Amino acid sequence: MPAQGSVSLAPHLHLAALEVTTSSNNALPLLLLALFAAWSACRHAAKTADAPPFHVEGDVVVFADGRRPSAVSIEPVRIEGDDYLTVTGRLVWDEDTTVRVFAPVSGRVTSIRADIGARVAAGQTLAHLAAPDFGQAQSDAARAAADLGAADRALDRTRQLFEHGAAARKELDQAEADHERARAEAERTRVRLNFWSGPKTPTGTVDQSFSLKSPVAGVVVERTLNLGQEVRSDGATPLFLVSNPRTLWMLLDVTEADLHSVAAGAPLRVHSPAWPDRTFVGRLDVVGAALDPATRTARARGHVENARGLLKSEMYVTVDVMKATAARRIVLPAQAVVNDRQPFVFVEEAPGRYRRIPVVIGPESEGVITVLSGVQESTWLVTEGSLLLEAAWAEAHRS
């Protein structure tokens, strides 16, 4: 049995043998003629068997029978809404409700009144320090107050004596000048003392006990001091961090190509790996005025509501930013795109006719590629069999 795709010579040779036996007078010429006819028929059959089922017309692969091959599948291109831009972000404390508490005086920690997680009110004491600098300020304020009292009494006496002619005008002027200097010094020391410990600090007490207080209401989220620790007024590390975690800031990185789609005030949808089934809402507050020269991204800042405290500072999140102008986009399955120095796809012009066209594509996400240009919305796209068509096109252009 001949192999598949081959042409058998047996029928033609048998026919030639019959013709030779019927005419013995012209045996040799007839035999040669029969052999030539058989060879011609075999060559024609071989050409017919080897002929490909398609041909290529420029950038169009055309199948001879005008039907779609079974290995080729098509579907219309998909149109998706593109209302949101997805970026990555990092959660940080809301600086509008966050205070880093430093020690304005040097001293030693004698007691700690608030630990991490404690809710504190504005003005509530966080810790006590034994501070010689604060004791000096107390002493200076007490001495200045005493000097002012003495100057008040001296001025009263000199004024009475002057009214009765028992003191010269020069003495009254000197008493008034001394009183003014004492008043100024008392005011200076009082303001200094109040700056450190508040306006209700009693003057005259010298105990060196400084109360480190929270300027705002919130939650103690960091504490870096221990009992007996020496602290300095020029320390670079805050002793307490107090914040209100009901709202957190988000620092977002927006690429240069996406800046036209982002505007302050846009609604945000925040997704965290810690809570995959939850979506947190927020708003974009500001977009930076410059790009980072290393990453070529702009820093944007938004805020997210965190009433239940599920989100934590320094979490990494994925944020959907509503675009300033909603857009529609064409998306393709990743397997429909053929890369040959640049991306190509095959579209069906008619059953059995497939045109190879270049496209400009965006990033791939979950097996789907966004087409930026090259494909129209009404296009029927080859989604399976693209590699078969590409091989046919390449073979035709190699020959």
> 44: which 2 tokens?
């024609």
pLDDT at 323: 81
47: pLDDT strictly greater than 70: no
- Residue at a domain's end among 179, 207, 235: 207
Among 51, 75, 74, smallest CA distance to 63 is for 51
313: pLDDT strictly greater than 60: yes
Most trustworthy range by pLDDT among 41-50, 109-118, 159-168, 364-373:
109-118
Residues 359 and 380 placed together within one structural domain of the fold: yes
What is the DSSP code string of 212-251? EE-SS-EEEEEE---TT-EE-TT-SS-SEEEE-TTEEEEE
Confirm whether 116 is domain-assigned. Answer: no
102-to-113, 126, 232, 384 alpha-carbon distances in Å? 15, 11, 9, 66
pLDDT at 325: 63
Q: How many CB atoms lie within 10 A of CB 352?
A: 18
Confirm whether 313 is domain-assigned. Answer: yes
Confirm whether 372 is domain-assigned. Answer: yes
pLDDT at 201: 66
Residues 300 and 271 placed together within one structural domain of the fold: yes
CATH number at residue 289: 2.40.30.170
Residues 35 and 69 placed together within one structural domain of the fold: no
pLDDT at 258: 87
Residues 42 and 71 placed together within one structural domain of the fold: no
User: Percentage of the chain surpassing pLDDT 70?
Assistant: 82
Between 3 and 205, whose confidence is greater? 205
Residues 298 and 341 placed together within one structural domain of the fold: no
Confirm whether 220 is domain-assigned. Answer: no
Amino acid sitting at position 110: T
Confirm whether 19 is domain-assigned. Answer: yes
105: pLDDT strictly greater than 80: yes
Residues 298 and 356 placed together within one structural domain of the fold: no
pLDDT at 2: 41
Confirm whether 164 is domain-assigned. Answer: yes
Residues 74 and 28 placed together within one structural domain of the fold: no
Residues 332 and 375 placed together within one structural domain of the fold: yes
Residues 59 and 41 placed together within one structural domain of the fold: no
180: pLDDT strictly greater than 80: yes
174-to-155, 180, 182, 198, 211 alpha-carbon distances in Å? 9, 10, 12, 34, 40
318-340 pLDDT, tens digit each: 999 988 765 567 778 888 888 87
Residues 255 and 311 placed together within one structural domain of the fold: yes
CATH number at residue 392: 2.40.420.20
Residues 258 and 190 placed together within one structural domain of the fold: no
6-16 pLDDT, tens digit each: 334 344 434 34
Q: Are the beta carbons of 327 and 286 closer than 8 angstroms? A: no
359-to-57, 116, 329 alpha-carbon distances in Å? 20, 57, 14
pLDDT at 91: 96
Confirm whether 273 is domain-assigned. Answer: yes
Number of compact structural domains in the chain: 4
137-150 pLDDT, tens digit each: 889 999 999 999 99
> 15: which 2 tokens?
């026919």
110-136 pLDDT, tens digit each: 999 999 999 999 999 999 999 998 888
Question: pLDDT band at residue 90, thresholds of 50, 70 and 90?
Answer: very high
Residues 32 and 76 placed together within one structural domain of the fold: no
207: pLDDT strictly greater than 90: no
Range of the domain at 391: 55-80+328-398
5-to-12, 20, 134 alpha-carbon distances in Å? 17, 30, 105
CATH number at residue 179: 1.10.287.470
pLDDT at 200: 65
- Residue at a domain's end among 274, 293, 322: 322
Confirm whether 317 is domain-assigned. Answer: yes
45: pLDDT strictly greater than 70: no
